[in-house]
Structure 1
Amino acid sequence: MSDFDQMGLVIDWVDACRKGDLAMLLDLYADDAKLECTCNGTQIYRGRGELETYWGPKLSAFSSAGFGLEEIHPAQSGIDLEYSVAGALRIRASFRFSAEGKIHSTLCEPAQQGSHDCCAC
């Protein structure tokens, strides 16, 4: 376990999402970070450029629809988070970190929410 505040880093991630601040969000990720989204089939994004392509439109949707923190807790090798968009759509994200204190990987997937599609994560 690294000596940086993993929970604090994820809270910064939440703050960046709430503010719609793409630059702040991208600065939280390692240069070689990977994001795997399984909400609408599996899609993988690697590096800052691909993360920017992924997050740019999503942050706009978050700021207009509303982004809510539902649950956050330590996991065996990182932090697990559940958030909501527009107060209803729930998404689970698991964060793993680099030794330098950056987000190294994120896995997002639909949380249990009935028949809603997960199209906002």
Structure 2
Amino acid sequence: MSFDPMAVAVDWLDAYRAGDIESILEMYAEDAVVRCGCGSVKTITGREALRADWVDRIREYPAGTLDDLNPYDDGTILSYVTSAGIVNALFAFDAAGRIKELNLAPIH
């Protein structure tokens, strides 16, 4: 692995906290899949759908502080605080270090 999965996850959170949608989108692989269990369960694919989701997510659930960060297989689990509570983000990456899969779920 020629990248640091935990560093990519932290960069993602930093971009999220800054509201930098373009930087966030650059982190995703072209065929990325995002599954979100926040509110209604949904699966997001495609660049424009990701962009639209991020516009809503930043407005409705701005990210706060990092809660926890751990390696997981070849990916990372990052927990962060939002206005709705703590969310777990499970990242899986492609060989280039781009986010291939992201699973988001609130911690109840």
TM-score (norm 2): 0.91
1:109 to 82, 105, 108: 105
Match of residue 71 from structure 1: 68
Q: Report the identity percentage.
A: 31
Partner of 1:83: 80
40-49 or 93-102, which moves further after superposition? Answer: 40-49
For 2:72 and 2:82, the matched residues in 1 are separated by 23
Residues 1-121 of structure 1 mapped to structure 2, 5 A cutoff: 2-63=1-62, 67-86=64-83, 89-112=85-108
RMSD: 1.5
Aligned residues: 108
Offset at residue 62 of structure 1 (A): 4.6
Whole-angstrom distance in 1 between the partners of 2:38 and 2:56: 16
Q: Given that residues 32 and 46 in structure 1 are in contact (C-alpha distance below 8 angstroms), is that contact kept between their aligned partners in structure 2?
A: yes
- Are the counterparts in 2 of residues 20 and 62 from structure 1 also a CA contact under 8 Å? no
**Counterpart secondary structure, 2:76:** strand
Unaligned residue ranges in structure 2 (runs of 5+): none
The change in CA–CA distance for 1:54 and 1:19 in structure 2 (over 3 A counts) is same
Letter matched to residue 100 of structure 1: A
